[in-house]
Amino acid sequence: MADTAPRGPLVYRQRLATRLTHWAWALSLFVLLLTGLQIFNAHPGLYLGDQSGFEFNNAVLALSARDTPEGLRGVTWVLGHEFDTTGLLGASGGEMRGFPSWATIPSYHDLATGRVIHFFFAWLLTGTLLLWLLASLLNGHWRELIPTGRDLRALPADVADHLRLRLHHRRRYNVLQKLSYAGVLFVLLPGMIVTGLCMSPSFNAAAPWLLDLLGGRQTARTLHFLGMSLLVLFFVVHLLMVVLAGPLNELRSILTGWYRLSPGESSDAR
Partner 1 sequence: MPADPTRRRLLLAAPALLLSGCKVFDGMTGDSPARNLLEGANALTHATQKFVARDALAPEYSRADIRQGMRPNGVTAPQDSDYQALAASGWADWRLAVTGAVERPLSLSLAQLMAMPPRTQITRHDCVEGWSCIAEWTGVQLSRVLAEARPLPQARFLYVRSMDTIERGLAGGIRYWESLDLRDALHPQTILAYGMNGSPLPVANGAPLRLRVERQLGYKMAKYLHAIEVVPALADKGGYWEERGYDWYAGI
Interface contacts to partner 1, rule CB under 8 A? 2, 30-31, 34-35, 39-40, 42-43, 45, 50-56, 101-108, 110-113, 115-117, 119-120, 122-123, 197, 199-208, 211, 217-218, 221, 243, 247-248
Q: Which residue type occupies 110? A: D
Q: Which is nearer to partner 1, 71 or 93 (CB)?
A: 93
Please state the closest distance from residue 89 (CB atom) to partner 1, in A: 16
Please state the closest distance from residue 75 (CB atom) to partner 1, in A: 19
Q: Which is nearer to partner 1, 24 or 145 (CB)?
A: 24
Please state the closest distance from residue 241 (CB atom) to partner 1, in A: 14
* Whether 80 contacts 138, CB under 8 Å: no
Q: Which is nearer to partner 1, 62 or 175 (CB)?
A: 62
Q: How far apart are CA 180 and CA 16, in angstroms?
A: 21
Q: How far apart are CA 140 and CA 142, in angstroms?
A: 5
Q: Quick one: which H or E segment has residue 82?
A: strand 81-84
Please state the closest distance from residue 116 (CB atom) to partner 1, in A: 5
Please state the closest distance from residue 132 (CB atom) to partner 1, in A: 19
Q: Which is nearer to partner 1, 113 or 267 (CB)?
A: 113
CA atoms within 13 A on the CB side of 78: 7
Q: Which is nearer to partner 1, 4 or 202 (CB)?
A: 202
Q: How far apart are CA 126 and CA 192, in angstroms?
A: 10
Asked if the bond preceding 208 is cis, omega within 30° of 0, the reply is: no
Please state the closest distance from residue 263 (CB atom) to partner 1, in A: 18
Q: Which residue type occupies 269? A: A
Q: How far apart are CA 233 and CA 239, in angstroms?
A: 10
Q: Which is nearer to partner 1, 159 or 206 (CB)?
A: 206
| 75 bridge partner residues | 64, 84
Please state the closest distance from residue 4 (CB atom) to partner 1, in A: 14
Q: Which is nearer to partner 1, 100 or 147 (CB)?
A: 100
Q: Quick one: which H or E segment has residue 253?
A: helix 247-255
Q: Quick one: which H or E segment has residue 76?
A: strand 71-78
